[in-house]
Amino acid sequence: MGTVAGYPEAMQLSWPPPARVALILALLWAVYVLLWTPGPLSLRALGLYPKKAGSRLVGWAATRTLPASWREPLLGRFAGRYGINLAEAEYPLAEYPSLQALFTRRLKPGLRPQEPVVPGSVNSPVDGRIIASGRIESGIAIQAKGLPYRIAELLRHDPGVARFEGGHFLTLYLSPKDYHRIHVPMEGRVSAVSRVEGELWPVNDASTGNLPRLYERNRRATWTALGTGSGAGLEVAAVLVGATHVGGVVIAPRWLGGRDLPEDGAFSVDLLPCAPGDDLGTFEFGSTVVLLVGGPRAADWTALRAGGDVKMGQRLGAYR
């Protein structure tokens, strides 16, 4: 028996090739993700999908300019698949140069009038479906099926979240068929904007009902305003939550003052006046808005809608 470095050959350890080690580690990681991600198998499988890279690729593809002869057949098929109401779109289908342009379309003027102002009125910032609504108690809101999340973490860059205690949260989900622009919900002055870099899990019924703290985990941007006039005594925060293939959560340039929204941070806004229906932001594809209503008179504010479909400009609540 020979020796190597003073040890018999029979005692030498034989290490597997690096590629085999990498494969074993990858398989172990895949098994871990599939076993420990909650929810149905389709959701667990998404744990293996490179969601940020996939979202960047889809976003890139969606912005590519389509040849003019392709627009009506391709975009028309997409609109038909998801039930997009093209009769409401500002322009004819052939005038949208890309899928992203169709998604971020404006509506024909006058289609979404704001409901008349009353004391404490807060209108819907989007077309969508209210999937959760309730009081904020002990800094907690409910995602779905009793799953809690923390307002302090949702508004990670806001040091004064206690002003939303006793207020109200409403979660509005936008499906692919919906109008994807977000609008100002009440009369006021804009005080801050922020962005949190996070994951990009899907935001749908399967995810909201199974993934704990989903809104805390995902990428999001926040727009905050102090109420004036009819909104005096209130403060609202509109949280634009990203999702898989919805990496773009865009705050309208008007509120940024020529600055770029930080990748993960916040800055104050010089109390710029805002009115119901003004542009607030845009989703590049669909996702969710969490609307928080707080401020000194939050306890006097009552939600008039607790669920169901809603159109931008319809009243969500007011002072009782």
Q: Select which of 124, 194, 207, 287 is catalytic.
A: 287
Q: What angle do CA 224, 225, 226 make, to 5 degrees?
A: 140
Residue 64: other Cβ atoms inside 10 A: 10
Q: Select which of 55, 127, 158, 245 is catalytic.
A: 127
| DSSP line for 231-279 | GTT-EEEEEEE-BTTB-EEEE-GGGTTTPPPPSSEEEEEEEEEE-TTSE
Residue 172: other Cβ atoms inside 10 A: 27
Residue 113 CA to residue 91 CA, distance in Å, equals 19
Q: Is 285 helix (H, G, I), strand (E, B) or coil?
A: coil
Q: Is 183 a catalytic residue?
A: yes
Q: Select which of 183, 194, 207, 230 is catalytic.
A: 183
Q: Is 127 a catalytic residue?
A: yes
Residue 66: other Cβ atoms inside 10 A: 18
Annotated catalytic residues are: 127, 183, 287
